[in-house]
Amino acid sequence: MSSCQVLALERTAMKLRKRVLEMTTDAKSGHPSSCFSCTEIVTALYFSEMSLRPEEPDWPLRDRFVLSKGHAAPILYAALIEKGIIPEREALTLRKLNSRLQGHPVLGKTPGVDMTTGSLGQGISAAVGMALVAQREKQDFVTYVLLGDGELGEGQVWEAAMAAGHYRLDNLIAIIDRNFYQSDGNTEDVMALEPLRAKWEAFNWDVTEIDGNDMAQCQKTLSLARRRRNRKPKLIIAYTKKGWGCSLMGDDLKWHGKVLNDEQADQAIAELEEGVR
């Protein structure tokens, strides 16, 4: 991918972050810092890697995406709006009564959402099921699942990881948003995850580690993972920073479930716009 193409993706990521701030600040509720840490990953997926038809969100052969860290729903909605799957006029209905944009993604309610998530740990099980169906029915779509590192404390994650390795689901690509924070503190204090790579490799996964806030690395790694069919599910450990792109929220746990006020959001948006010029 050329530097111009990477720059275009970075500009899209800036738009998605702005949208997240507008949505969560207006709703006075949400998890913007959790959205910001994974923005490059979501941008690379939706605007470079995934095969989708915006005019046909339920196209049977589309690639699937499961946002296992469902509390980061605004970044998914922002991508779906930018992609033209959800009308822009719905953006400021986030978390409002009767809105299709609930606090966590809901299958069957919101166009472009492939799985209801929010109960942490369950998303990867659904993704394993999707990939297994594709494998057995010889369908060519790829299933992607984005996990938060805090949710790796759930036992269901490891059952799903074991199943994916057992069935050799090389059409499954999991990404861990490795920002080292969960709602109660540092992941290594709450329930230590390291050595993380070795654990997944022991479950027969093909593991790659990247800087998850570097757009070029995200795009290249996702592209290579899609093409590499070696009878192993793929895992990308994406090292990120909580609130990346906003100096106010950057790497600060107190913003996990807290939103910016109007003045703070305006300052953050100006900072985002300045950063991609």
For the chain, the domains span 3-275
Tens of pLDDT along 19-54?
999 999 999 999 999 999 999 999 999 999 999 999
pLDDT, tens digit, 9 for 90 and up, residues 127-170: 999 999 999 999 999 999 999 999 999 999 999 999 999 999 99
pTM score above 0.85: yes
Per CATH, is 3-275 categorized as 1.10.10.10? no
Q: What is the pLDDT of residue 37?
A: 97
> Quick check: 39 and 245 in contact, CB under 8 A?
yes
CA distance 22 to 124: 29
Band of the pLDDT at 277, cuts 50, 70, 90? low
Q: What angle, rounded to 10 degrees, do the helices at 155-166 and 123-136 form?
A: 20
Q: Residue 96 is encoded by which pair of tokens?
A: 């409002």
Q: For the chain, first and last CA: distance in Å?
A: 20
Q: Strand runs (DSSP E) across 83-203, as ranges?
A: 143-148, 172-178, 181-182, 185-186
Among 174, 181, 152, 191, smallest CA distance to 242 is for 181
